[in-house]
Amino acid sequence: MNIVILTGAGISAESGLGTFRDKDALWAQYRIEDVATPGAYARNPALVHEFYNLRRQGLRAAVPNAAHFALAELERRHQSGFLVVTQNVDDLHQRAGSQNVLAMHGELQNALCANCGHVWLAPDLMFPEDRCTRCEAMSCRPDIVWFGENVRFLDQINEATQTADLFALIGTSGNVHPAAGLMNLARECGAATVEINLEPSTVAFAADRVILGRATEQVPVWVAELLSE
Ligand code: OAD
């Protein structure tokens, strides 16, 4: 049985990391076009770095929660295909022990050189004057996929989704494509689908089963159920 799990900010909320679209969440405090687009970086790189420096500080203080650990345990005990596709730029799945993780929106802990493509571990604070550790260009950016840029691993993600027997969506509002279309794609290709969220996502119509509640409570229960089948 092939399992694909799609996660979003909701799975990391109880680790203390902010979500994007809940009440008082990040996109209520910042405008996407000011901090999360290539245009924003061209206009005001200092503000963009400040936004991601704050996110990186938050991540350094965060630890994986029971939902991340439950998914890592499921992967360890599952006999065949297993993939976590995450929209999150934190590394909490990996730190919980998940092995097969595709971070489709990039990785906050890394810096990326816009000039040569080099990727390295970001310092705590990044500034527009920073130089690439390989080519020395003054074009260092967070290793994040911004709005208007292509998400990563899309071919691999589509293929895994199309061959999934079970697809679970956890802690995402379903507002950002292409991630938002994956559960429906999985269902059209024959997978059983489940959603675990505080509130139903915009794509809950594509879920065979919707479990409402906190990820730290509901994910471990759902994983225990699967492992006992
Ligand atoms: P959102 O903030 O849009 O959605 C968070 C989802 O998590 C909502 O459905 C909440 O109901 C749910 N949620 C909140 N707390 C929860 C909890 N404790 N347990 C379970 N569910 C909970 O975040 P995403 O859908 O991940 O992209 O956002 C998708 C993308 O939009 C992000 O990757 C980011 C953002 O702009 C980029 O920055 C490129």
pLDDT confidence band for 60 (50 / 70 / 90)? very high
Q: One of 49, 68, 93, 105 is an active-site residue; which one?
A: 105
Q: Does the Cβ of 68 fall within 6 Å of ligand 1?
A: no
- Tell me how long the chain is: 229
Q: What is the DSSP string of 124-154?
A: SS--TT---TTT--S-EEEEE--TTSPPSSH
Asked if 49 is an active-site residue, the reply is no
Average pLDDT rounded to a whole number, residues 135-152: 97
pTM over 0.75: yes
Q: Output the pLDDT for position 53.
A: 97
Residues 26-41, mean pLDDT to the nearest whole number: 95
Evaluate if residue 79 carries a pLDDT over 90.
no
Q: Does 205 score more than 90 pLDDT? A: yes
Q: Which atom of ligand 1 is nearest to the CA of 21?
A: 2
Residues 40-47 have a mean pLDDT of 97
- Residue range 37-52: average pLDDT? 97
Q: Name the closest-CA residue to atom 22, ligand 1.
A: 10
Which residue of 5, 19, 68 sits with most ligand 1 atoms within 8 Å of its CB, as the best mutation to test the pocket? 19
Which amino acid is located at 77 in the chain?
R
Is any ligand 1 atom within 6 A of the Cβ of residue 210? no
Give yes or no for a cis peptide into 64 (omega within 30° of 0): no
Ligand 1 binding pocket includes 12 (Cβ within 6 Å): no
